[in-house]
Amino acid sequence: MISKKTEALDAVAIRFAGDSGDGMQITGDQFTGTTALVGNDLATFPDFPAEIRAPAGSLFGVSGFQINFSSREVYTPGDRPDVLVAMNPAALRTNLPDLKPGGILILNTEQFNEKNLERAGYQTDPQADGSLSSFRVYPVDITGMTLKAISDIGLNQRAAVRSKNFFALGLVYWMFNRPIEHTLEWIQKKFAPELAAANERALKAGYHYGETAEIFTHNYTVEQAPITPGRYRRISGNEALGLGLLAAAELSGLELFLGSYPITPASDVLHFLSQQKHLGVKTFQAEDEIAAVAAALGAAYAGGLGVTTTSGPGMALKAEAINLALMLELPLIICDIQRAGPSTGLPTKTEQADLLQVMFGRNGESPLVVLAAKSPGDCFWTAIEAVRIAVRQMVPVIILTDGYLANGAEPWPIPQMSEIPRIPVQFRTDPEGFKPYLRDEMLSRPWAVPGTPGLEHRIGGLEKQHETGNISYDPQNHEFMVKLRAEKVRKVADLLPPTVVDGDAEGDMLVIGWGCSDGAIKSAVAGMRARGHRIGHVQLRHLNPFPNDLGDILGRFRKVLVPELNMGQLAMLLRARYVIDVHSFTKVQGKPFQEIEIRDAIGAQLEAN
């Protein structure tokens, strides 16, 4: 065996790309798990097509998974990969523009045949025509070597070919000096004996190929990151959201009821919670989006923690029922895992364009509490806060996440339930002086659930008289009630802690974002501050109501930049509310922000007058 040298790197971004049937998501997932165990900080970006199984070799069927891992803190999946594993010409063609100049390119040569080249739109073979000369290209017959390695297991050709992603994974494990044991264990658990044997063999073959093949002169290592001590696990946004809802149920003592209808990218929350029946969760897969929210509202009325999960198109359908919840003044949690719209849009791609929909997309004056999660793990904490607010104020609360947070993963310090404050809930039981819409000091009303003797009462969507809740068509009462419902939501701001400003507390520019842009903004702001600019960063969790101190914070900076994956929706709200000139920086490509894009936008705005 040739002894090869190992080079230490600070950070590496790898992208696995192949057909949607090539197992790229599994490959990325495995690499992520192992990398987390090695102790690197990391962030991931799974990017897959809307089609379940697009025709093999087609450009639109390419599925990708990017992971950025480092010996330092990582906030984003990396702007441009250092390494691209392309399982076929289509994967090469769609992903090559992102690869860093001088980056490593591993090609599965077996797939570079005439038919596939043509499908990918190549006139000539890029391996031979010099178009890849600015990269370090490693042509590897991944399929061929996989088949050879597992030939005696007796799988048919079709099944055997499917092990090739494990060969690629093994090779990349070797390149970045990762142990293969974690994946070996997983393979044993996941697959039937024959397939497990084949995958194991392929994984090892890939690893050994790296070790022995002469084309690889050395491999790389990325040291452990200085991560805050503690116990960690990997978490995706959808898992964290599900866990957060479960935690909120436990902290409040309420029974969790999820009404949901399958929709990308929210369905995983339904799947996850459906598996937690042992915690008393009831899940209801409804006949449509409307029934899903309606049933959740029914559960809230009956004294449960009513939750519905969906994405933008589903939000549009739920609007009327959400408005009923507002009118009834019942706690209801509505999770919008945003995706690129309008209409069906790009169902598997991310966007932040539902903000104005959730703010205003209902009839009448309909203010709701709106919260946004900023990282996969933050979905957990956002869910708990949403429930806390909903039951305190007897209001529906909307949680915004998005496809990028939902599917992206990060290492996550495991929370201790015993350290999280309980969520106080008190059902009304005393019939003495009971009125359904009697107000407390926060303008909240009593939660009087069916089955409580002496509290029989009627509620509905018609305007109601102050306190008694009886139907009222009185014009003065209507205006009073509209204002009261608005004030009730506004009062949520009084419950909030001071807004956290990262970086400078005053100065040249405040960059204010929400949701999944957190990592990219954080990195970009750090970079610009290192060049001497005085920049602050606020990642807004509370989109409605805005925190009470936000106006002051905005006033402490010369300029305000609002990067968003939409056409400037938060910017519009900030302008309207604070009557200030904010600069909107937008992107609507179905992809998250890159650090460099935000850095450039900051730079451009700082220079402009």
**Sites for other proteins among residues 470-499 (CB under 8 A):** 470-471
Structure tokens at 521: 């903004």
Q: Does 230 bind other proteins (CB under 8 A)?
A: yes
When the beta carbons of 300 and 509 are compared against other proteins, the nearer one is: 300
- Minimum separation from the CB atom of position 408 to other proteins (A): 17
Which of 42, 87, 266, 294 is the binder for other proteins (CB under 8 A)?
Answer: 294
Interface stretch with other proteins, choices 166-174, 278-286, 472-480, 600-608 (CB under 8 A): 278-286
Give the footprint of other proteins on residues 427-466 (CB under 8 A): 427, 429, 449-462
CB 207 within 8 A of CB 166: no
Angle between helices 164-175 and 24-38 (to 10 degrees): 30
Which phi and psi (to 5°) does residue 332 adopt?
Answer: -150, 135
Residue 22 CA to residue 163 CA, distance in Å, equals: 9
Give the footprint of other proteins on residues 388-417 (CB under 8 A): 414-417
44 bridge partner residues: 67
Q: What is the DSSP letter of 186?
A: H
- Minimum separation from the CB atom of position 226 to other proteins (A): 9
- Minimum separation from the CB atom of position 42 to other proteins (A): 12
When the beta carbons of 109 and 276 are compared against other proteins, the nearer one is: 276
- Minimum separation from the CB atom of position 509 to other proteins (A): 34
Give the footprint of other proteins on residues 145-184 (CB under 8 A): 182
Q: Does 467 bind other proteins (CB under 8 A)?
A: no
Q: Does 280 bind other proteins (CB under 8 A)?
A: yes
Q: How far is CA 406 from CA 34, 515, 521, in A?
A: 21, 11, 19
What residues contact 600, with CB distance under 8 A and at least 6 apart? none
Which of 5, 130, 231, 473 is the binder for other proteins (CB under 8 A)?
Answer: 231
Tell me how crowded residue 335 is: count the other CB atoms within 10 A of its CB. Answer: 30
Which of 13, 36, 334, 543 is the binder for other proteins (CB under 8 A)?
Answer: 36
Which of 86, 172, 266, 286 is the binder for other proteins (CB under 8 A)?
Answer: 286
Give the footprint of other proteins on residues 82-141 (CB under 8 A): none
Q: What is the DSSP letter of 390?
A: H
Structure tokens at 123: 């006139």
Give the footprint of other proteins on residues 16-35 (CB under 8 A): 33
Which of 62, 155, 296, 571 is the binder for other proteins (CB under 8 A)?
Answer: 296
- Minimum separation from the CB atom of position 46 to other proteins (A): 18
Residue 391 CA to residue 406 CA, distance in Å, equals: 25
Which of 178, 201, 234, 485 is the binder for other proteins (CB under 8 A)?
Answer: 234
When the beta carbons of 417 and 500 are compared against other proteins, the nearer one is: 417
Q: Is the dihedral of CA 291, 293, 299, 304 positive or negative?
A: positive
137 bridge partner residues: 105
Which of 198, 203, 321, 387 is the binder for other proteins (CB under 8 A)?
Answer: 321
Structure tokens at 202: 């392929």
- Minimum separation from the CB atom of position 328 to other proteins (A): 7
Q: Does 386 bind other proteins (CB under 8 A)?
A: no
CB 276 within 8 A of CB 233: no
Which of 302, 356, 482, 526 is the binder for other proteins (CB under 8 A)?
Answer: 302
363 burial via Cβ count (<10 Å: 0-12, 13-18, 19+): exposed
Which of 328, 358, 489, 538 is the binder for other proteins (CB under 8 A)?
Answer: 328
Give the footprint of other proteins on residues 38-77 (CB under 8 A): 39
Q: What is the DSSP letter of 112?
A: -
Which phi and psi (to 5°) does residue 582 adopt?
Answer: -100, 150
Interface stretch with other proteins, choices 36-44, 153-161, 519-527, 549-557 (CB under 8 A): 36-44
- Minimum separation from the CB atom of position 286 to other proteins (A): 7
Residue 383 CA to residue 491 CA, distance in Å, equals: 19
In three state form, how does the secondary structure of 121-157 look?
A: CCCCCCCCCCCCCCCEEEEECHHHHHHHHCHHHCCCH
- Minimum separation from the CB atom of position 203 to other proteins (A): 18
Q: Which one, of 24, 134, 158, 156, lies nearest residue 88 by Cα?
A: 24
When the beta carbons of 157 and 416 are compared against other proteins, the nearer one is: 416
**Which three-class secondary structure state does DSSP give residue 564?**
strand
Q: Does 324 bind other proteins (CB under 8 A)?
A: yes
- Minimum separation from the CB atom of position 330 to other proteins (A): 10
- Minimum separation from the CB atom of position 294 to other proteins (A): 4
- Minimum separation from the CB atom of position 34 to other proteins (A): 10
Residue 149 CA to residue 206 CA, distance in Å, equals: 9
